Amino acid sequence: MYQATTEELLTKEIIDGGILNPKGFLCGGVHAGLRYNKLDLGMIVSETPASCAAVYTTSHFQAAPLLVTQNSIAKEGVLQAVVVNSACANACTGDQGYEDALRMRSLAASKLGISEHHVAVASTGVIGEFLQMEKIEAGIEEVTAGKSEGDMQAFQTAILTTDTVMKKSCHSAEIDGRTVLVGGAAKGSGMIHPNMATMLGFITTDAAISSEHLAIALKEVTDTTFNQITVDGDVSTNDMVLVMANGRAGNHSLEPCHPQWTVFVELLKVTCASLAKQIARDGEGATKLIEVMVTGALSNEDARKTARKIVGSNLVKTAIYGADANWGRIIGAIGQSEAVVNPKTVDIALGKIKMLEGSKPVSFSEEEAKAYLQNDMVEIYVDLHMGEGTGMAWGCDLSYDYVKINASYRT
């Protein structure tokens, strides 16, 4: 069973919190007309320049907004705003797409009176279509960044595509005697798979930390959260997680030698893990969240690989959708893992229901297992009995509705 770390116990969830809880951040969203009747353009603003870090899709076809954001961050590792649109990914759009992304950056910078390279750009939606720049320009001019709950909901809604719910998270911890907050908003529902998931994630924190050390923390956290979710095995062109840290909490600047460095990393991790699980739960057509916990691996990386393999298996996903306690499908997924596995020492359980011990079947109640699989969250536990490595991954079941949604995505 999962045991919380000491650092995790030092963090506190802010119920209904999000990107506006950390000090010094504003946001908003508007309907620019890119979508028929939904909000489709949003902006996050830090009241002061903020350290920043980002991770991006591993796709060979990184979209224009990602290239522009990388250009902005490379200048001095500082951002003050992010402008985001939905409905159009601005991916595979050549030189025009890149110029349009630069234009988005310029328009936002001009509106806010800040340097262009202090603005990041993100887009999500249909690949291969050009941005309607007249609408983008009007939307940027119209959007107002504020501090209210309505402003936060407007931003969170504006970044959604096939999502059915908004994703938000916020946690706090005491560092250097100051309350430090990390808040986040994300979108993601389909084309979810490591590395990274098809998603956009925006994280704000009032912690004082340099861009260099923020990048170290984000890389570590991404490997155990966003890179551990999968819905359908497809990677997108626009995936990005971006963090801004404006230092308004007043703590001493964080770095790996800081006595509470691990507390900050855990604070970032629990916020990102919450967003990751919300994305997995909202997988297109999904009815259940699947959480896989692997212990006893030779290394943490082996455990993460095994957990990802299980949660990414279409056979496992369809069995859980149908409430079929077929542990053979879990074994099949483990057998395909790149991790070191002893085929004679594997234990498997669905929740508290043991099904396999030492790779030998254990008698269990099919009725009890079926009833458990009817829940909207299913936990799979695997012990490889090879070492001390642990890892988790999240995904969802695979339903008929997934096919329906993606068969008519553009219509």
Q: How far is CA 56 from the centre of its chain?
A: 11
Is residue 398 in some structural domain? Answer: yes
Length of the chain: 411
Is residue 80 in some structural domain? Answer: yes
Q: For residue 57, what pLDDT is reported? A: 86
Is residue 324 in some structural domain? Answer: yes
Q: Which of 198, 205, 222, 306 is catalytic?
A: 198
Please indicate, yes or no, whether residues 150 and 166 belong to a single structural domain of this protein: yes
Residue 198 among the catalytic residues = yes
337 closest CA partner among 298, 310, 314, 360: 310
Please indicate, yes or no, whether residues 243 and 198 belong to a single structural domain of this protein: yes
Using the 3D structure, point to which of 281, 309, 334 is the last residue of a domain. 281
Q: For residue 191, what pLDDT is reported? A: 43
Q: Please, where are the H alpha helices in 189-245?
A: 211-224
CATH of the domain at 394: 3.10.20.340
Number of domains in the chain: 2
Q: For residue 343, what pLDDT is reported? A: 95
Please indicate, yes or no, whether residues 131 and 89 belong to a single structural domain of this protein: yes
Is residue 94 in some structural domain? Answer: yes
Is residue 1 in some structural domain? Answer: no
Reported as half-sphere exposure (CB side, CA atoms, 13 A), residue 21 has a value of 21
The dihedral of CA 185, 190, 193, 199: what is its sign? Answer: negative
Please indicate, yes or no, whether residues 253 and 135 belong to a single structural domain of this protein: yes
Using the 3D structure, point to which of 258, 281, 304 is the last residue of a domain. 281
Is residue 10 in some structural domain? Answer: yes
Residue type, 192: I
Q: How far apart are the C-alpha atoms of 306 and 309, rounded to whole Å?
A: 5
Please indicate, yes or no, whether residues 199 and 257 belong to a single structural domain of this protein: yes
Q: For residue 100, what pLDDT is reported? A: 98
Q: How confident is the prediction along the chain (411 residues), in pLDDT tens digits per residue? A: 556 666 777 899 999 999 999 999 999 999 999 998 999 999 999 999 999 999 998 888 899 999 999 999 999 999 999 999 999 999 999 999 999 999 999 999 999 999 999 999 999 988 899 999 999 999 999 999 999 999 999 999 999 987 878 899 999 999 999 999 999 999 976 444 444 335 899 999 999 999 999 999 999 999 899 888 875 445 678 889 999 999 999 999 999 999 999 999 999 999 999 998 898 877 666 788 999 999 999 999 999 999 999 998 989 999 999 999 999 999 999 999 999 999 999 999 999 999 999 999 999 999 999 999 999 999 999 999 999 999 999 988 887 666 665 565 555
Domain that holds residue 205: 6-281
Q: At 203, phi and psi to the nearest 5?
A: -115, 135
Please indicate, yes or no, whether residues 266 and 311 belong to a single structural domain of this protein: no
Q: For residue 396, what pLDDT is reported? A: 84
Q: Can you give the pTM of this predicted structure?
A: 0.86
Number of other residues whose CB lies within 10 A of the CB of residue 1: 8
Please give the structure tokens belonging to residue 40: 């489709």
CATH of the domain at 276: 3.60.70.12
- H/E stretch holding 111: helix 94-112
Please indicate, yes or no, whether residues 231 and 312 belong to a single structural domain of this protein: no
Please indicate, yes or no, whether residues 275 and 330 belong to a single structural domain of this protein: no
Burial 210-227 (b: 16+ CB within 10 A, else e): bbebbbbbbeebbbbbbb
Q: How far apart are the C-alpha atoms of 339 and 305, rounded to whole Å?
A: 6
Q: Please, which residues have CB within 8 angstroms of residue 191's CB and are 6 or more apart in sequence?
A: 198, 231, 232, 234, 235, 236
Please indicate, yes or no, whether residues 216 and 313 belong to a single structural domain of this protein: no
Q: For residue 192, what pLDDT is reported? A: 41
Q: How far apart are the C-alpha atoms of 183 and 250, rounded to whole Å?
A: 17
129 strand-pairing partners:
none
Using the 3D structure, point to which of 281, 300, 322 is the last residue of a domain. 281
Please indicate, yes or no, whether residues 223 and 295 belong to a single structural domain of this protein: no
Please indicate, yes or no, whether residues 77 and 106 belong to a single structural domain of this protein: yes
Please indicate, yes or no, whether residues 340 and 370 belong to a single structural domain of this protein: yes
Is residue 376 in some structural domain? Answer: yes
Q: How far apart are the C-alpha atoms of 232 and 209, rounded to whole Å?
A: 36
Is residue 249 in some structural domain? Answer: yes
